[in-house]
A = this chain, B = another copy of it.
Amino acid sequence: MKGVSSLSDILGEMRRTHHCCELGADDIGKEVTLMGWVQRRRDHGGVIFVDLRDREGLTQVVFDPKVHEKVHEKAHVIRSEYVLGIRGKVEKRLEGMANPKLKTGEIEVFATELKILNTAVTPPFLIEDGAEISENIRLKHRHLDLRRPGLQKNMILRHKIGAAVRQHLNEKGFLDIETPVLTRSTPEGARDYLVPSRVNPGQFYALPQSPQIFKQLFMMSGFDRYYQIVRCFRDEDLRADRQPEFTQIDMEMSFVGEEDLMSVSEGMMKHVFKETMGNDIQIPFLRLPYDEAIDRYGLDKPDIRFGLELKDVSDIVKGSGFKVFSSVVKKGGIVKALNAKGCISLSRKEIDDLTAFVAIYKAKGLAWIKVKEDAWQSPIAKFFSDEEKQALAERIDMEPGDLVFFVADSPKVTNESLGHLRNHLGKKLGMIDENEFKFVWITRFPMFEYDENEKRYEALHHPFTSPLEEHYELLKKDPLSVKSRAYDLVLNGYEIGGGSIRIHQKELQEKIFETMNMDRSEYEEKFGFLLSALDSGAPPHGGIAFGFDRLVMLLCGEPSIRDVIAFPKTQKATCLMTNAPSEAGKAQLDELALKIRKVRLES
């Protein structure tokens, strides 16, 4: 226990007077107390200089034997990441020694008292931004990684964004009401995390994929306006931008239509951007019906910071001599073009790379035309008549210097591949202003999609979404043509929120379940309580949920949500720091009435 006996009440009467980014020229001459970590220690001319760091910034502390011999002597043991408490006097730095990069760069503190509050072993990496460290090392030592200024800033900005959201919604009369985490499976479409019940052996809770049904019940209870910044869970295979647990800003309102929800959301975003970034964003945001978004951008989350829109040329090429195009159109496919203005000088190699890129989205090929002053340079030019050429040139706005790409495939493949190609080219060609934030609402989504595996219609949003009134009659005869009252908010090509006006009528809700091939016993079993609630005075209502992690990521300018989550999990859903998940004891499993099956190794 060497040394420890003096450490419990190690602070004694010492308390901070300032943080490490607070002192300036105005404080010269003051006696101050600072506490923090040793960012760097330098010895110069018999004097020890320490950059002391806390979450706010750095202050230079000087241990000078001429100021205090014993304190200087004691300071010799100081190493990086030691935790210090120092008392001293603020002095102006010598002429020419000021550091304009530092907020406290005009001053330094001459220490007259030093408490070494803790020592530190040498960290496995430098506590600095920009160091090249493998993400696994960072995640294993996350408490050190979180000391880096970049991650500190991200977590502080995350805090501020959350606070701004709450402040705005509180003012607008929304009530923050908590919903259960140990709950019942809801049909968000992804896999649930299950929690075995000990008291009810053989039974399981599900962790919520969203508080969807609960927030609708709040409307039926008359709470009128609800919100929550709430953890949700999906046991999906992880991609870069996904985590097993994530946070959403969840909202619901009564007695409203689409425009009310969008307007409240816009107000919230405007407030958040103003409070946290100082940006004055323009509202209302553009509204774009789903069909138009797909038509113009190929994707339902278009990045509208740049043009480069797709053009459907199916009608022009359907009778052309180029069989690849004409046969696709005959089979119900489409042909669309993307005009990379002024990109005629792209090399054959580059075009091949783009062909490989669209192949990721299942496009079987990428036709192209280089528009020269006098003619088209293209393997396919010869297949078109002059009339067709003229029509194409007009539709696609071809000008000398342009490079035009074509995909001919099913509507899905054509749009997805060209939509992603558009984003890819937008970045590659420098068409995107990275400092710009551009929002767009996508509205009137299809109500259903057809699940080829299950051979049935699935709700694209979720089954509680209201179809458009004028499409009710299509529910039976053509579910795929039914449009819904759903809306997504897209920011710079990322879907950051989605919601809908809900069904508030039991009859209609049953009709939707039936369209999805559920029979009465199935939906009564799963959603009986919701149907009964719809039957007991449900108001018209709607809501939205924003992906909080992703919103913070975009405001932080980070490429991954892992950089805005304190303790994220890996793509194998593990926590490298705590080694979660881990094995459970037999006694614990016995209590839960569970046995672990032998896992068959994949052959």
**When the two chains form their complex, are residues B540 and A231 in contact, meaning their CB atoms are under 8 A apart?**
no
Q: In the bound complex, what is the Cα–Cα distance between A163 and B175 (angstroms)?
A: 10
**Given A8-B485, A222-B54, A580-B206, also A572-B177 (CB < 8 A):** no
Q: In the bound complex, what is the Cα–Cα distance between A352 and B282 (angstroms)?
A: 76
**When the two chains form their complex, are residues A195 and B221 in contact, meaning their CB atoms are under 8 A apart?**
no
| Copies of the protein in its oligomer | 2
**When the two chains form their complex, are residues A255 and B505 in contact, meaning their CB atoms are under 8 A apart?**
no
| Residue in B144, B485, B592 whose CB lies within 8 Å of A221 | B144
Task: Say how far A204's CB is from chain B's closest CB, in angstroms.
Answer: 5
Task: Say how far A8's CB is from chain B's closest CB, in angstroms.
Answer: 3
Q: Which chain B residues border A217 with CB–CB below 8 Å?
A: 142-143, 146
| Interface flag for A155 (CB, 8 Å) | yes
Task: Say how far A588's CB is from chain B's closest CB, in angstroms.
Answer: 7
Q: In the bound complex, what is the Cα–Cα distance between A104 and B184 (angstroms)?
A: 41
**Given A163-B176, A539-B83, also A11-B256 (CB < 8 A):** yes
Q: In the bound complex, what is the Cα–Cα distance between A162 and B231 (angstroms)?
A: 17
| Interface flag for A16 (CB, 8 Å) | yes
Q: In the bound complex, what is the Cα–Cα distance between A543 and B469 (angstroms)?
A: 55
Task: Say how far A222's CB is from chain B's closest CB, in angstroms.
Answer: 5
Q: Which chain B residues border A178 with CB–CB below 8 Å?
A: 231, 247, 565-566
| Interface flag for A504 (CB, 8 Å) | yes
Q: In the bound complex, what is the Cα–Cα distance between A10 and B156 (angstroms)?
A: 44
Q: Which chain B residues border A144 with CB–CB below 8 Å?
A: 221, 536
**When the two chains form their complex, are residues B535 and A184 in contact, meaning their CB atoms are under 8 A apart?**
no
| Stretch touching chain B among A334-342, A378-386, A402-410, A594-602 | A594-602
Q: Which residue of B lies closest to A259 (CB)?
A: B15
| Chain A 161-194 interface 0/1 with B at a Cβ cutoff of 8 Å (1 = within) | 0110010001000011111111111000001111
- A191-235 at interface with B (beta carbon < 8 Å): 191-207, 213-214, 217-218, 220-224, 231, 233, 235
**When the two chains form their complex, are residues A194 and B197 in contact, meaning their CB atoms are under 8 A apart?**
no
**When the two chains form their complex, are residues A594 and B593 in contact, meaning their CB atoms are under 8 A apart?**
no
| Residue in B170, B197, B504 whose CB lies within 8 Å of A163 | B170
**Given A83-B539, A537-B37, also A183-B575 (CB < 8 A):** yes
Q: In the bound complex, what is the Cα–Cα distance between A578 and B191 (angstroms)?
A: 19
**Can you give 28 A-B contacts (C-beta < 8 A)?**
A4-B505, A6-B469, A8-B468, A8-B501, A9-B257, A15-B255, A55-B222, A55-B223, A81-B536, A117-B504, A118-B540, A120-B537, A121-B536, A143-B217, A143-B218, A147-B221, A155-B223, A178-B565, A180-B580, A184-B581, A184-B582, A191-B591, A202-B583, A203-B584, A205-B581, A206-B580, A529-B578, A594-B595
3 cross-chain pairs, A with B, having the tightest CB-CB distances, nearest first: A8-B469, A120-B537, A146-B221
